[in-house]
Structure 1
């Protein structure tokens, strides 16, 4: 370490390294490179063993996870604000509170894996590689949106990501068949599918205990093995996802994961979220189980970061989201002549009839 520091200092004095870079290097020297963290044991169904109950978290991973979760949180809060300002219209389902599910899932799979989602998918859009700018611009219906302003909250797409279907459960048949039929076919054909239930405890405005006689969603694949995971802990989600992905890749067929999580906002923007649950319940989750808070505390207690460093990340994230929001409210809307474009991928131009038979558009991909 002394030799490395001496080398860096000599480079600073010779003008080869900027002082800001030096500050970053010196800062990193006082932190641990990694830490071994305990995680909650998953409930298992038709499995002899499950994910590990401890894992190694590196400083680099921790900083990445923290920043990504903060981006999703601030992006959703900004979307809430833009909706109330009437920049966003129509349906909008926010996922703040469920950030560990989004970031943990991506951390446990490969970029080449395919993800098919329901709505409440803005966070997954981001972890799949879409920028905050393109997501917010899509919400406001602008040309710079990820679906060119024509998809909105429930229809966003990226490479290997087929996002935001508006009908509950509609993403499952797109992947393999209707929900229980998909379970059956995937088991018969040993398809490499990881079925995920993001259990945020409410179906629209109904608590799960009032709507189902069995809340063991990880067992509802019947012949499919299942895991019930702490969806508020990013490391639990990451390790469970790795386990599930390895299960599929090894030829054992499908697996079902239930992520026990919580949404802070109502079901949609028309739902205040407090008529069927108390404010005290929401506050209790925020104060005891918030995924960002849990990761922050783990990082500080294991000397992977400091309060000051995390505050700098928070400020940087806030700036990024504010700039994205500015773009999303000033970028022009797509022109009418673009209405029929991009209906199909890599198709030659063809005519599409408009609102009446005399109005025609030329569709391009």
Structure 2
């Protein structure tokens, strides 16, 4: 009788231990299947968003920038450590099942076996997340280290931008033979005057008349120099989007700072649309391109193909804010295109 009572107490104790372990397994399962994937996705987005903000030059405070970088690095390390700790806890929990005996009870034996299988599956899942979070931490630290140049002192940044502008500005020579150093807009005007010299110069009371052949050769050289200048501009990719309407298609693109005369819109009967042109740089664009690492000016070209549209009836408008709207009506929007038919569609009855 005494032995049976002791065995009953051991069975009850083992059942309580298995119940406590089952609660731990459920907690680990919730962390591995819900919490860690959510934190992983969130940190991926925050890391890429911070790197995008650093590279795009968005206006945020220096102290806020430093705090954001430190916070992201700390959270990446915390997630990596938490996943490794969870894997170790699962290993310890798996070892604890060896200390629990079933005492001949089939219910305890089956329950312990099911929990062991669950823990082994969670261990495999934890190993996968441990590798993913380790790669995420390495990826985030590598990206952030590449953008550490943004965290320089503002005075050094301004000095660097000034040196870049000074190096990139064209040097113009005035009538006295001295180099002039003014704003970029004035330099561009002087450079344009240098490319377009006056054909008549006063020499005492007589004027020098330019022959027609010299004028023709100068015009050819001038056209060649302009084409060379445009070819030297970098390739710029402006943002654009396509909106589908009931009566056609609207293509919107941002061309802020581009003159209307420098934009060319071509629509072909095949449905191809091409928007090309160029944007000349200014002092702000040069500094911004140097800071971002990508050109914000230069030659651009947008090519799209549309089906079932009337390209010949398209219309475009360049607004004051720099937005270009190109409207291309669809074929079904015009009644004169609906009534057209091909001769092959006529059913002619033939008698033999």
| Bucket of the pairwise TM-score, normalised by the shorter protein | under 0.3
Q: Which structure has the higher relative contact order (CA within 8 Å, separation 6+)?
A: 1
Q: Radius of gyration: which is bigger?
A: 2
Question: Which structure shows the bigger proportion of residues in helix conformation?
Answer: 2
The TM-score normalised by the length of structure 1 is: 0.18
